[in-house]
Amino acid sequence: MKRTLTLNLSTCLIAVVIVGISPHTVQAQGQPPPDHPSITVRGQTYTPRSILARNMGTPEDQSTAFPPHKVIGNIYYVGTRTLTSYLVTTPQGAILINTTYERNVPVIQKSVEQLGFKFSDIKIVLGNHAHGDHQEGDALVKQLTGAQVMAMAEDVPALQAMKPGGKAHPIDRILHDGDQVTLGGTTLVAHLTPGHTRGATTWTMKAEDAGKTYDVMFGCSLRAPDKLTPQNIEEFNRSFMIVRALPCDVQLGDHGAQYNMQAKYARLRSGGPNPFIDPGSCKVEAEIAETMFRAILAEQGGRQP
Ligand SMILES: [Zn+2]
Instruction: Give the pLDDT of residue 272.
Output: 85
Tell me: pLDDT of 2 over 70. Answer: no
The CA 223 to ligand 1 mean position distance, Å, reads 8
Instruction: Give the pLDDT of residue 111.
Output: 98
Name the band, by pLDDT with cuts 50, 70 and 90, for residue 305: very low
Question: What number is the average pLDDT over the span 13-38?
Answer: 53
The CA 265 to ligand 1 mean position distance, Å, reads 24
- Give, for 34, the enclosing helix (H) or strand (E): none
The CA 195 to ligand 1 mean position distance, Å, reads 10
Instruction: Give the pLDDT of residue 31.
Output: 62
Q: Which of 1-5, 244-248, 300-304 has the lowest mean pLDDT?
A: 1-5
Q: Work out the mean pLDDT of the chain and round it to a whole number.
A: 90
Q: Express each pLDDT in 113-122 by its tens digit.
A: 999 999 999 9
Q: How many Å apart are CA 248 and CA 258, to the nearest integer?
A: 14
Question: What number is the average pLDDT over the span 6-23?
Answer: 42
The CA 139 to ligand 1 mean position distance, Å, reads 18
The CA 110 to ligand 1 mean position distance, Å, reads 25
Residue list, CB under 5 A from ion ligand 1: 12, 131, 221
pTM of the model: 0.89
The CA 250 to ligand 1 mean position distance, Å, reads 22
Percent of the chain at pLDDT exceeding 70: 89
The CA 242 to ligand 1 mean position distance, Å, reads 19
Q: Express each pLDDT in 114-147 by its tens digit.
A: 999 999 999 999 999 999 999 999 999 999 999 9
φ and ψ at residue 260, rounded to 5 degrees: 55, 45
Q: Express each pLDDT in 206-226 by its tens digit.
A: 999 999 999 999 999 999 999
The CA 131 to ligand 1 mean position distance, Å, reads 5
The CA 48 to ligand 1 mean position distance, Å, reads 13
- 3-state SS of the chain: helix, strand, coil percent to 5? 40, 25, 35
Burial of 277 (0-12, 13-18, 19+ CB in 10 A): middle
Greater model confidence, 15 or 175: 175
Tell me: pLDDT of 33 over 90. Answer: no
